[in-house]
Amino acid sequence: MIGPLLSSLARKRIVLASSSPRRRNILESVGLVFQVMPSTFSENLDKSHFATPHDYARENARLKAVEVSSRLKSDGITADLVIGVDTIIVLDDSILEKPKSEDAAKLMLKQLSGRTHTVVSGVTLIAKTESTTTFTETTEVTFASLTDSLVDYYVETGEPMDKAGAYGIQGIGGSFVTGIVGDYYNVVGLPLQHVCREIVNMWETGHLV
- Measured CA to CA in angstroms, residue 107 lies from 25, 73, 113, 119 at distances of 29, 42, 10, 18
- 3-state secondary structure labels for all residues of the chain: CCHHHHHHHCCCCEEECCCCHHHHHHHHHCCCCCEECCCCCCCCCCHHHCCCHHHHHHHHHHHHHHHHHHHHHHCCCCCCEEEEEEEEEEECCEEECCCCCHHHHHHHHHHHCCCEEEEEEEEEEEECCCCEEEEEEEEEEEECCCCHHHHHHHHHHCHHHHCHHHCCCCCHHHHHEEEEECCHHHHHCCCHHHHHHHHHHHHHCCCCC
User: Is 86 noted as a catalytic residue in this protein?
Assistant: yes
**Which one of the listed residues 46, 55, 75, 86 is annotated catalytic?**
86
Which amino acids are annotated catalytic? 86
